[in-house]
Chain A
Amino acid sequence: MIFPKWTNRTPIPVAIGGGVLLVLVVTAFAYYISPYSTQVGYAPTQPVPYSHKLHAGALGMDCRYCHVAVERSPVAMVPVSQTCMNCHSVIKKDSDKLAPIRQSVETGMPVAWVRVHHAPDFVYFNHSVHVNAGVGCESCHGRIDQMEVVRQAKPLNMAWCLDCHRAPEKYVRPPEFVTAMGYVPAGNQLDLGRQLVKARNIHPPTDCGGCHR
C-alpha cells in the first residue's frame, strides 16, 4: 500500500485553505459579538410612535424640554406623561396615537417605553457631568433630529468611550451648543477643544473607578 502520486499535491493547498478558513471564522465571530452587530441600529418599536424627527427636527424643540434632568442628574430622564400633555392637551388632543399617554395621565400608570441606549449595569454613566462638560447629545446619540424611530447610532462600547475620555478635545463643544444637532465647530475643533478643556478644566477619568464601582 503506498499513497498515489497526486497526494503529494495536497499538503500545501490544505495548509493554506485551513489558514484562510480559520481567519474567516474568527473575523466573523468577532463581528458577531461586537457592539457593531449587537448594539448599533437597535431601534425597537415604542408604545407611542413618538417622532424625534418631528419634534426635535422639524419643530426644533430643545432636548431639555423633555429630558429635564439631563443637566442635574445621572439620568437624562424619559419625560413624564404630563410633559406630553403640556402641548397635546391642545394639539392633536384626540389622536389615537396619544391614547396611551392620555390613559397614563388619567390612571397614573406609567407608559412602558422601550430602552434604546443601554449601558451595562456595572457601568455608572452620569449624564449631567458629560452635558456640563460640553459633550453634545449628538456625540453619543447621533442625529436624533433625523430619526423617525430612535435607533442606537453609536456602539457605546468601552473602547469607544475611552476614545473621548483620552482626548476630550476631539469632541467637546461650547456649553451653548450641547443640544445642537449637526453642530459644526466655528474653526478647528482641536484648537477650540483644547481651549474648552483648559477653560473648563475637563480631565475625564480613564481609571476604572470612574465608571465601574
Chain B
Amino acid sequence: MKEERVEDQSRPQWRSLDELTGSPEYRQYAETEFPDFFEETFDFPPDAENAALSRRSFLGVMGATLALTGLAGCQRPLAKILPYSKLPEDLLPGVPQTYATVMPFRGMGEGILVTSNEGRPTKIEGNPDHPSSLGATHGFAQASILELYDPDRSQLPMEGGAARTWDEFNTWLTPKLSALRAVGGRGLAFLSLPTASPVLRAKRTEILSAFPNARWVDYEPVNRDNAIEGSRIALGRPTRQLIAFDQADVIVSLDSDFLFVEPNSVRHAKDYAHRRRVASERDTMNRLYMVETVFSITGSMADHRLRIAPSQVGEVARALAFSLSANHNTYLGGQTWAAVRLSDPVLAFVERMAHDLAEHRGRSIVIAGATQPPEVHALAMALNHALGNVGPVVRYTGEPYPGEQRQGIAGLAHSMDTGEVNFLVVLGGNPVYNAPADIDFTAKMRKVPDVVCLGLYHDESSEKASWHLPETHFLETWGDGEAWDGTRSIQQPLIAPMYQGKSELEVLSLFLGRPADAHALVQEQYGREWGVFSASRWDRALNDGVVPAGTAFAEVVATPDMSGTSAAWSRRAPAPANGLEVLFRPDYSVWDGRFANNSWMQELPDPMTKIVWDNAALMSLKTAKSLGVKDGDLVSVSVANREMEIAACVVPGMADGSVVLPLGYGRTRAGRVGNGVGFNTYALRTTTGMDIAPATVKAGAGHYSLVRTQDHQALEGRPLVREGTVEEYRKNPEFAREMNEAPPPISLYTNKEYDFTKPPQWGMSIDLNTCIGCNACAIACQSENNVPTVGKKQVKKNREMHWIRIDRYYVGDVEDAEAVHQPIPCMQCENAPCENVCPVNATNHSADGLNQMVYNRCIGTRYCLNNCPYKVRRFNFLAWRKDQPEVIKMAMNPDVTVRMRGVMEKCTYCVQRINRKRIEAKNAQRELKDGEIVTACQQACPTEAIVFGDLKDAESRVAKLKAQERSYTLLEELNTQPRTFYLARLRNPNLEMEKA
C-alpha cells in the first residue's frame, strides 16, 4: 500500500486514474469474464501475483523464494518516485485533506466530510456542522467510498450493449430533440429518483418549461408516499415532520424504524440516544413503545414491544386513539372513535401506552412507519396534535417533494403501454428491477421506441434501454443537497470522474441543448438565488459543508382536520380476516438494492438476523412451525398469484402470521459482487401491495444455506451483556458489577519492571444503553483499516475479517424475545493472553497500553487467536485480496498496512490515528487534548456509544465513564485487565405494565 501512496502522492489525480483504468490488470478485469473472487479459493496459483498488491506480500514471496530457492530474494526492487510537475495549491504530499460535501440518499442530503489522500478519497465521515449528521454517518455513507471505486461501474455510453462515445450520443439525440421540441415534448417522459438537490429541481423545471408536454415521474421503491399522503389527509397539505426525539419522554412508534430506515435516521439516533445516556442513577430516560411486525433495531431498543401483524398496527393506532379520547380525556376534534376488537393483552398494552402518553402531554410523540398506510400517519399526526406535542417535540415544514411516486410509476407505465410515450429518459433509477411487479415495466419499456437510461451501473434497466449513459458518482461531480430540515450543502467532487460519467444535471443540460459542466451550473444557480454570486459565500459554503445563512425550510403551522382523518379511516380497507401477510422493507445492508454490488455491505451482517450475502423470508418460530419449515428451508410465497421461492429465516420476537421480505437482492446485473445474491422480492411487490399484502406461503422443496456471522444466539446465562431496569439501577447503581464475581487476581510474577500508569493510557468505553446495533462502526472500521471481505463461502467457514463485530443476543422467551447488541472490538487487555503465547513477539504491548499487532513479524501460528477469550483476532487464511481489482487499491487507507495471507490481524484502536495526532502535537510542541484522537468506530457512531481517550486523564470523557457504576469489563474473572469496557444497558419499563 505504501508503494501506492508514494506513487499517488506524487502524481496528478487524473493521471493516476488514467493509469489505473488503463493498466493491463484493470483492462483484464474490465473485459474478461470475471473470476468470482469471493468464491471458493482452492485453485489458487502461487501467491506471487499478490506482489502486485503490496510490497508486504512481495516480501512474503521474497521470503518464500528465500526459503525455497535460497538467496534469490535479496535483490532490491526498483521503485520509482513520480513527483508532480506542478504542485497543486494547498496540497501537501503525505498529508491527507478533508473536504465537506453531501451525499444524496433517501430523498435528502446527508452532510459528510471526505478524507482525500493525494486526490484519492479514502474515508467518509459525518459533518459535525450538518444538521442531519452532527458528525456521524450510517454505514451506507461509509460504504459509498467502495462504490466510487467499484470497477463494475459503467464506464462508457452504450447503445444496445455496444460501446459508444458521448458525441455519438449527441448526434443520435439532436434530431430526436428537435423533433420533440417541435411537439413541445409530447411523448417525452422522464423517470428519475426524487432528489433533494434544489439545483437539480430547478433544472427539472427548466426541462418541463422547455418541453411543456413532457411528463416527469419520480419513483424510488422505498418512498415516503404514505407519510406525505397522511399529511395531506391530516393537515390538508404535503407536510414534513421534524421530530426532536431529545424532547420526547415517551415515544410510541407504530412500525417506524426511525433509528435506521426513516430518513434523517442518523439525527434521530443522536437525539434518541441523548435521552438514553445516563451518568448517574438520578438521570431520567425516555421510554420507547414499539408496535411492529419485524424485529427491527429500533424494536431492539424498545422498553415495551408489541409484535403484531402489519395490518393490525393500524388497528392498534385506532385503539390508542379510542383509549385516549375515551379514558384519558384527550380531545380528538370531536370525532368519536369506536372501540376496536383486539386481544386482551394487546388492549392492555394499548391502554398503558395511552396512559403513559396522557401523562406526558407535550413531552411525547407518536410516529407511524413508512410502510403503514396514510390513515395511520394521519392519525399519528392527529394524536400528536391532541397531546400537545406539536411545537415542543414535532414541528412541521412544507414538504418540498410532494411524492405520489406510486401512482406516478403506474401512470407512466400505463401511458407507455398506450404508446403515449415514445421517448423515455430514466435518470438514475432502476425501474426494470424495482418497479411494482404488476405493471410489468420491462414489457412496457419494449413499447417505447427510445429509452435512454442514465445510471451508475449498466444495470437491469440499462440492459433493456436503447441507450445507456454512465452516471458520475456523487463524489465525482458538483451539485447540492438539502438536509431533512432543508439546510443546504454544496456537493463538491473529491475526484475527477474516473470513467466517462456525467451527472444528471449535465445530462439534463444536454437535453436543453446547452451542454454545460456541473460546476458552472451549480454556481450559476446559486448566483441566481443569491442575486449575485459571492465567491466568499461560496467558499464558506464549501468549507463548512453547509450553505451559510438559514437555508432551512420555513416552519408551517397546521391544525389537523380530524374529519378528514376519520373519513380516511372509514375508507380503510378491512384487514384480511385470516391468512398470512407479507411486509416489504428495505434491507439493512443493500437498502433497495443499490448497494448490491458493494462487498462491504453484502458482507455486513444484518443487525438482527446476522445473515450475510443474502436476504430471506423472516418469520416467527410459530409461523415457521405452522408452515412446517425450519430455518433455511425454501418456502414458496405467493402474493396475488405471483409466486417466488425464498429461504425461510426464523427470527425470535417476530409477529406471528406475518412474513417479512427484505428488498434489494436477487439482482441480475448488479455486477460481479451482487449478481445472483439472494432473492428478488420485488417479484411479489405490486402497486396495491407495495408495503403490506395478503399472501399464501407454503413449504417449498429443498434447503438453502443461509450464512450468519453469529450461529449461537443465546447468552447461556453468562454475564456478558449486563442489563437492568432503571428501577434496579436506582436501587443499586452497582448492579452490573455485582452480576459477576471475580476472584482476587494473584500472580506468579512479583518483579514487574513496568506498569501502565504513565499517561496517556488509552481506553475505550462502549455504552450498551445507547448502542442501537446499526453497524456503522463496523463499516467505518472496514474502510479505515483496509479490512478485506472474504465472501459467503468463507464467512460460512467463520472466516469473516471484521475488526469490530456487533454481537446480538436474544434474551427472554423465544417467541417474544428481546434483543441486545454488544460491539466487540479488541479489548486491548493489559494482561493480554494473546501476547504470552506468541513465539515471535509479533503481538505485544506498547507503553500507552495498546495491544500491538506487528504484521511483518507474524508467522501465523494462530495461537493468539486460540487464546483470545473474546475471539477478536482475525487470520488471513488465504490471500483475500488476490483477485481484487486493481482499482480497489485506491480505496485503501495508505496509513494502514494491507495484510498478506498467513498473518493475524485485529483492532488496533486505530493506532495510525493516534500516531498522526501524536506527531502533530509533537511537531507543534504541545500536549494532546482529550477528544483529539477519534477512532473510526467512534467517529461513525450515531449515538456516541463509543468513547475513546486517555484513562489516566481524570478529566477525559472516557475516564469519567470508567468511573461510572454502570461500567464493567468483559470476563473480568480472567484478570486480563481489558482497556475496552462497557456501560451496562438499562431498560425503562412502565411499571404498571410490568404488573399487568
Q: Which residues of A contact B (CB under 8 A)?
A: 29, 32-33, 37-39, 42, 44, 69, 71-75, 77-82, 104-105, 107-115, 118-122, 124, 126, 128-129, 132-133, 200-201, 205, 207-210, 212-213
Contact: A113 with B919, CB < 8 Å?
Answer: no
Which residue from chain B places its CB closest to the CB of A112 in the assembled complex?
A: B80
Contact: B846 with A132, CB < 8 Å?
Answer: no
Given A33-B71, A205-B846, A213-B896, are A77 and B856 neighbors across the interface (CB < 8 Å)?
A: no
- Is B752 at the interface (CB under 8 A from chain A)? no
Scoring B residues 829 to 855 as 1 if CB is less than 8 Å from chain A, else 0, what string do you get? Answer: 000000000000000111110101011
Which residues of A sit under 8 angstroms from B925, Cβ to Cβ? Answer: 200-201
CB distance from A123 to the nearest CB of B (A): 8
Q: Bound complex: CA of A29 vs CA of B429, how far in Å?
A: 64
Which residues of A sit under 8 angstroms from B844, Cβ to Cβ? Answer: 208
With most chain B CB atoms within 10 A of its CB, the pick from A74, A79, A105, A120 is A74
Q: Bound complex: CA of A118 vs CA of B923, how far in Å?
A: 24
Q: Bound complex: CA of A28 vs CA of B943, how far in Å?
A: 61
Q: How many positions in chain B have a CB within 8 Å of any CB in the partner chain?
A: 53
Q: Bound complex: CA of A122 vs CA of B905, how far in Å?
A: 14
Considering the complex of A and B, which 6 residue pairs feature the smallest CB-CB distances, nearest first? A121-B2, A207-B846, A73-B94, A75-B94, A110-B82, A115-B79
CB distance from B173 to the nearest CB of A (A): 33
- Is B56 at the interface (CB under 8 A from chain A)? yes
Given A122-B856, A207-B847, are A32 and B74 neighbors across the interface (CB < 8 Å)?
A: yes
Contact: A113 with B81, CB < 8 Å?
Answer: yes
Given A207-B852, A209-B908, are A129 and B71 neighbors across the interface (CB < 8 Å)?
A: no
Which residue from chain A places its CB closest to the CB of B71 in the assembled complex?
A: A32
CB distance from A17 to the nearest CB of B (A): 24
Which residues of B sit under 8 angstroms from A208, Cβ to Cβ? Answer: 844, 846, 852, 854, 857
Q: Which of B54, B55, B83, B92 contacts A78 (CB 8 A)?
A: B83
Which residues of A sit under 8 angstroms from B922, Cβ to Cβ? Answer: 129, 132-133
Which residues of B sit under 8 angstroms from A124, Cβ to Cβ? Answer: 2, 895, 912, 915
Given A108-B85, A122-B897, A207-B846, are A72 and B92 neighbors across the interface (CB < 8 Å)?
A: yes
- Which of the segments B7-15, B348-356, B979-987 contacts the partner chain? B7-15
Which residues of A sit under 8 angstroms from B857, Cβ to Cβ? Answer: 208, 212
Which residues of A sit under 8 angstroms from B897, Cβ to Cβ? Answer: 121-122, 212-213
Known: A113-B83, A120-B59. 13 other contacts (CB 8 A): A38-B74, A42-B76, A75-B6, A80-B84, A82-B87, A108-B12, A110-B83, A114-B78, A118-B79, A129-B919, A208-B844, A209-B908, A213-B896
Which residues of A sit under 8 angstroms from B55, Cβ to Cβ? Answer: 120-121
Contact: A115 with B856, CB < 8 Å?
Answer: no
Which residue from chain B places its CB closest to the CB of A79 in the assembled complex?
A: B83
CB distance from A100 to the nearest CB of B (A): 11
With most chain B CB atoms within 10 A of its CB, the pick from A81, A200, A213 is A213
- Is B3 at the interface (CB under 8 A from chain A)? yes
Which residues of A sit under 8 angstroms from B85, Cβ to Cβ? Answer: 80-82, 104-105, 107-111
Which residues of B sit under 8 angstroms from A114, Cβ to Cβ? Answer: 78-81
The B1-60 residues at the A interface (CB cut-off 8 A) are 1-3, 6, 9-12, 15, 54-56, 59
Q: Bound complex: CA of A201 vs CA of B12, how far in Å?
A: 38
Report 15 cross-chain contacts, Cβ distance below 8 Å, ordered by A residue: A69-B93, A69-B95, A73-B94, A75-B94, A79-B83, A80-B87, A113-B83, A115-B6, A115-B80, A120-B55, A120-B59, A122-B56, A122-B897, A129-B922, A201-B925
Q: Bound complex: CA of A18 vs CA of B852, how far in Å?
A: 43
The B945-985 residues at the A interface (CB cut-off 8 A) are none
- Is B731 at the interface (CB under 8 A from chain A)? no
Contact: B83 with A129, CB < 8 Å?
Answer: no
Which residues of B sit under 8 angstroms from A213, Cβ to Cβ? Answer: 895-897, 908, 911-912, 915
CB distance from A36 to the nearest CB of B (A): 12
Which residue from chain B places its CB closest to the CB of A131 in the assembled complex?
A: B923
Contact: A77 with B915, CB < 8 Å?
Answer: no
- Is B341 at the interface (CB under 8 A from chain A)? no
Contact: B54 with A121, CB < 8 Å?
Answer: yes
Contact: B82 with A112, CB < 8 Å?
Answer: yes
Which residue from chain A places its CB closest to the CB of B83 in the assembled complex?
A: A78
Q: Bound complex: CA of A111 vs CA of B76, how far in Å?
A: 21
Q: Bound complex: CA of A123 vs CA of B110, how far in Å?
A: 37
- Is B571 at the interface (CB under 8 A from chain A)? no
Q: Bound complex: CA of A64 vs CA of B55, how far in Å?
A: 29
Q: Which of A29, A39, A81, A122 contacts B855 (CB 8 A)?
A: A122
Contact: B74 with A78, CB < 8 Å?
Answer: no
Q: Bound complex: CA of A213 vs CA of B846, how far in Å?
A: 12
Q: Which of A71, A105, A200, A209 contacts B852 (CB 8 A)?
A: A209
Given A69-B94, A73-B95, A205-B846, are A121 and B81 neighbors across the interface (CB < 8 Å)?
A: no
Given A33-B71, A132-B922, are A210 and B915 neighbors across the interface (CB < 8 Å)?
A: yes
- Is B86 at the interface (CB under 8 A from chain A)? yes
Q: Bound complex: CA of A77 vs CA of B95, how far in Å?
A: 11
Contact: A77 with B94, CB < 8 Å?
Answer: yes
Q: Bound complex: CA of A199 vs CA of B75, how far in Å?
A: 43
The B661-693 residues at the A interface (CB cut-off 8 A) are none
Given A38-B74, A42-B76, A73-B95, are A78 and B81 neighbors across the interface (CB < 8 Å)?
A: yes
Scoring B residues 871 to 904 as 1 if CB is less than 8 Å from chain A, else 0, what string do you get? Answer: 0000000000000000000000001110000000
With most chain B CB atoms within 10 A of its CB, the pick from A73, A80, A205 is A80
Which residues of B sit under 8 angstroms from A81, Cβ to Cβ? Answer: 83-86
Q: Bound complex: CA of A42 vs CA of B74, how far in Å?
A: 13
Q: Bound complex: CA of A192 vs CA of B731, how far in Å?
A: 62
Which residues of B sit under 8 angstroms from A201, Cβ to Cβ? Answer: 925
Q: Bound complex: CA of A74 vs CA of B95, how far in Å?
A: 7
Q: Which of B75, B79, B94, B911 contacts A74 (CB 8 A)?
A: B94
Contact: B86 with A39, CB < 8 Å?
Answer: no
Which residue from chain A places its CB closest to the CB of B919 in the assembled complex?
A: A129
Contact: A77 with B83, CB < 8 Å?
Answer: yes
Contact: A82 with B86, CB < 8 Å?
Answer: yes
CB distance from A13 to the nearest CB of B (A): 29
Q: Bound complex: CA of A43 vs CA of B167, how far in Å?
A: 50
Contact: A118 with B76, CB < 8 Å?
Answer: yes
CB distance from B194 to the nearest CB of A (A): 41
Q: Bound complex: CA of A121 vs CA of B899, how far in Å?
A: 11
Which residues of A sit under 8 angstroms from B86, Cβ to Cβ? Answer: 80-82, 105, 108
Which residues of A sit under 8 angstroms from B10, Cβ to Cβ? Answer: 77-78, 110
Q: Bound complex: CA of A112 vs CA of B80, how far in Å?
A: 6
Contact: B923 with A132, CB < 8 Å?
Answer: yes
CB distance from B511 to the nearest CB of A (A): 34
Q: Bound complex: CA of A114 vs CA of B919, how far in Å?
A: 28
Which residues of A sit under 8 angstroms from B94, Cβ to Cβ? Answer: 69, 73-75, 77
Which residues of B sit under 8 angstroms from A74, Cβ to Cβ? Answer: 94-95
CB distance from A196 to the nearest CB of B (A): 13
CB distance from B536 to the nearest CB of A (A): 27
CB distance from A102 to the nearest CB of B (A): 10
Which residues of B sit under 8 angstroms from A128, Cβ to Cβ? Answer: 919, 923
Which residues of B sit under 8 angstroms from A32, Cβ to Cβ? Answer: 71, 74
Q: Bound complex: CA of A104 vs CA of B6, how far in Å?
A: 19
Which residue from chain B places its CB closest to the CB of A203 in the assembled complex?
A: B847
Which residues of B sit under 8 angstroms from A107, Cβ to Cβ? Answer: 85
CB distance from A201 to the nearest CB of B (A): 8
Which residue from chain B places its CB closest to the CB of A33 in the assembled complex?
A: B74
Which residues of A sit under 8 angstroms from B92, Cβ to Cβ? Answer: 69, 72-73
Which residues of B sit under 8 angstroms from A122, Cβ to Cβ? Answer: 2, 56, 59, 855-856, 897
Which residues of B sit under 8 angstroms from A120, Cβ to Cβ? Answer: 55-56, 59, 856
Which residues of B sit under 8 angstroms from A105, Cβ to Cβ? Answer: 85-86
Which residues of A sit under 8 angstroms from B848, Cβ to Cβ? Answer: 207
Which residue from chain A places its CB closest to the CB of B118 in the assembled complex?
A: A75
Which residue from chain B places its CB closest to the CB of A81 in the assembled complex?
A: B85
Which residues of B sit under 8 angstroms from A119, Cβ to Cβ? Answer: 2
Which residue from chain B places its CB closest to the CB of A108 in the assembled complex?
A: B85
Q: Which of B76, B93, B911 contacts A75 (CB 8 A)?
A: B93
Which residues of B sit under 8 angstroms from A72, Cβ to Cβ? Answer: 92, 95, 923
Q: Bound complex: CA of A124 vs CA of B86, how far in Å?
A: 26
Which residue from chain A places its CB closest to the CB of B896 in the assembled complex?
A: A213
